Amino acid sequence: MELDVTQPTILLVDDEKANLKVLSELLKKDAHISLAISGQQAIDKSLVFRPDLILLDVVMPKMDGFETIKKLKAIKETSEIPIIFITGLNSADKEKLGLTLGAVDYIYKPFNSEVVKARVATQLKIIRQRNELQKLSQELAHASEIKSRFLANMSHEIRTPLTAVIGYAESILAGEIDEDEQYNAISIINDSGQHLLSLLNDILDISKVEADKLDVALIPTRLFKLIEEVKLLVGDKALHKGIEFNIKCQFPLPSKLITDPTRLKQILINLLNNAIKFTDQGFVDLVIKNTPPFLQFSIQDSGIGINSEDLSKLFIAFSQVNNTANSNVGGTGLGLNISKYLSEKLGGNISVLSKKGEGSCFTVKIKLKEADDSIWFKNQTDIDNAIVIPCNDAKPQKKLKGNILLAEDNKGLRTLFTLILTKLGLTVTIVEDGKQLVEAALVSEYDLIMTDIHMPNMGGVEAMNLIKLTGCETPFVALTANAMTHEITHYLDIGFSEYLSKPIQREKLVHVINHCLGINSRIDEIDIPENNLCQLKNDFLDDLSLDIKNIKNAFSHKNWQQLQFFAHGLNGSSAVFGFKEITKLAAKLENGLQTGEFPTDRLKMQLIIDNLTTTFFSLIKK
């Protein structure tokens, strides 16, 4: 018969077999029972079996209970075992002596079954709590050790690109780099800055994972457009290393699915970057196939592989596999943990097969839920006939139009913002703090106000509140180093229309300004041939029917968060294409949800959605 390892073990010590039998019958349901008939036998069994609790008779021949407990407490291996004395002696002095020697309690003869069970149960509960605390303490110590190693690694990871940034920047300023070499130097500075930003993003993401606050937004997603974007982002890295990079589709595959495209890309890019990083020659393949009820992505490489004993560590936060052969590559040790969390959030999982020296295969599965208008592609020709994915060279460079007021106390950032915003075609007024921001806003009208949060004299939040008291309806953008989810939510809740987290990337900056300026940054102000512009507008109208369907569906299901997401997207996209009425209605819907006016006024929401539908049909007729 196998023992239940979850049950505690109790050693009963008494020279009278009748007492052992009675106690065994009382306690056998709740514990494994071991018996000893002398003090020496109790010591020998304790050293071999390490019981959780000992019930020890006081009066025994040769070695009594008091002598036995002294010896047990003197031995390191048995010193921590709790001991309850069994005795027929009702003497305060004897009881005091036993407790002084280390006993935790007394049980008196003749036995009262309920009292025996209660006293033993109390000690077993204490033992369980002590064991749990010891386990927790060990886990905390282990976690502390891992995080200490992580911080030491991060010090190296951050210092390495910083050395490149500072070194090349100082050399350029000192005139030590020839003009024809400066482009290469600036590229290295940019690459190092992007690497530092990716490290920071990983650290921020893991804080959200630990708090279970890393959200996903499930929306209709064009599968092959997403794959092409992934290819554009990682393909050059493989090319530069001389590695063959292939995308292999095992048909049939859906054209659209419901997922979070940003998070799915994050998973795939992380795994592909890892594969390229640890592959010096050969190939990296991304294989896509339908495995109901999942869509499966496999990242296969011919790289250095992973030791079998290290596979279990891969998805643990702050843990890194020691690859001495590739000690020149690094990272946070967080990417795989984040990817695992996200794949589970998307209804699937992530697994790995690897052999040292023979490469690895990471498999990501996400729940496959088709979009309503999805079709199944049977081969590559179906894809080529259905979609055209624009390459980077074909992207129009948008010239924005608008008058912007910006507050920033850092001189270098003021210069940088002025350079970027004027290059985008915007008129920029720069001030240094919140007080100057209020004064400028009272004197002139602006299309957009951007402000740092923490500034001397007056911060951005206080300045915004004072300006809004005058009745100003100009949208505000928060410029902040606070990128935690709850902080961003706070800024949006108190009245900011958008936020930008420092360090600010140009693409995100353009997106935010474009959204806030709305109809002032229409796509027809860019130098695009008329026939192309008409085609783009027609494509937008084709997608608009699905956007309105998504809005109606979210409204009927009272999914206010998703409704705000779709309204936000429609607000920005319709503004780009110059559909003013759609933009106005989408903005009303988004702002109402953002400020809390909705969903209390559901009638007003219904009216806006009905107007959106009517406007859509009128555009189609034109």
Q: Element (H or E) spanning 47, and its range?
A: helix 39-49
| Pairwise pLDDT comparison (172 vs 598), residue with the higher score | 172
Classified as helix, coil or strand, 565 is: helix
* Conformation bin of residue 75: beta by default, left when phi > 0, alpha when psi is -120 to 50: beta
Q: Which of 592, 547, 584 has its CA nearest to residue 566?
A: 547
pLDDT beyond 80 at 121:
yes
The predicted structure's pLDDT at residue 442: 92
Q: What does the alpha-carbon distance between residue 448 and residue 143 come to, in Å, rounded to a whole number?
A: 46
Q: Which residue reads 């010891």 in tokens?
A: 134
pLDDT, tens digit (0-9, with 9 covering 90-100), for 565-595: 788 667 756 765 667 788 788 878 877 887 7
The angle subtended at Cα 481 by Cα 479 and Cα 487, nearest 5°, is 85
The predicted structure's pLDDT at residue 374: 86
Residue 446 phi, psi dihedral angles, 5° rounding: -130, 155
The predicted structure's pLDDT at residue 312: 80
Q: Confidence band (pLDDT; 50, 70, 90) for 223?
A: very high
The predicted structure's pLDDT at residue 71: 95
The DSSP secondary-structure symbol of 370 reads B
Distance of CA 210 to the CA centre of its chain: 8
pLDDT, tens digit (0-9, with 9 covering 90-100), for 335-392: 788 889 899 999 999 999 999 999 999 999 999 998 888 899 988 877 765 543 333 3
Q: Confidence band (pLDDT; 50, 70, 90) for 153?
A: low
Least confident piece of the model among 108-117, 348-357, 409-418:
409-418
Least confident piece of the model among 37-46, 197-206, 385-394:
385-394
Give the CA distances from residue 284 to residues 268, 272, 301, 323, in Å, rounded to whole numbers and listed in that order.
12, 8, 4, 19
| Pairwise pLDDT comparison (385 vs 474), residue with the higher score | 474
Q: Confidence band (pLDDT; 50, 70, 90) for 150?
A: low
List of domains in the chain: 9-111 (3.40.50.2300), 134-210 (1.10.287.130), 220-394 (3.30.565.10), 403-516 (3.40.50.2300), 524-621 (1.20.120.160)
The angle subtended at Cα 336 by Cα 330 and Cα 338, nearest 5°, is 115
Q: What is the pTM of this model?
A: 0.45
End-to-end CA, the chain: 83
Average pLDDT, the chain: 82
Q: Confidence band (pLDDT; 50, 70, 90) for 320?
A: low
Residues near 122 by Cβ (< 8 Å), separated by ≥ 6? 105
CA atoms within 13 A on the CB side of 240: 8
pLDDT beyond 50 at 523:
no
pLDDT, tens digit (0-9, with 9 covering 90-100), for 546-563: 888 888 888 888 888 888
Q: What percent of the chain has pLDDT over 70?
A: 82
Q: What does the alpha-carbon distance between residue 588 and residue 582 come to, in Å, rounded to a whole number?
A: 10
pLDDT beyond 60 at 606:
yes
Q: What is the mean pLDDT of residues 518-525?
A: 43
CA atoms within 13 A on the CB side of 88: 7
pLDDT beyond 70 at 321:
no
The predicted structure's pLDDT at residue 208: 66
Q: Which of 473, 425, 470, 420 has its CA nearest to residue 449?
A: 473
The predicted structure's pLDDT at residue 280: 92
pLDDT, tens digit (0-9, with 9 covering 90-100), for 436-447: 999 999 999 999
| Pairwise pLDDT comparison (459 vs 572), residue with the higher score | 459
| Pairwise pLDDT comparison (556 vs 89), residue with the higher score | 556
CA atoms within 13 A on the CB side of 461: 10
Q: Are 359 and 303 in contact (CB under 8 A)?
A: yes
Q: Pairing mode, if any, of strands 376-377 and 253-254?
A: antiparallel
Q: Which of 418, 421, 413, 425 has its CA nearest to residue 453?
A: 413
| Pairwise pLDDT comparison (487 vs 130), residue with the higher score | 130
Q: Confidence band (pLDDT; 50, 70, 90) for 165?
A: confident
9 forms beta bridges with: 32
The predicted structure's pLDDT at residue 256: 92
pLDDT beyond 50 at 244:
yes
| Pairwise pLDDT comparison (105 vs 564), residue with the higher score | 105
Q: Confidence band (pLDDT; 50, 70, 90) for 398?
A: low
Tokens representing 366 are: 């996400």
The predicted structure's pLDDT at residue 535: 56
The predicted structure's pLDDT at residue 68: 94
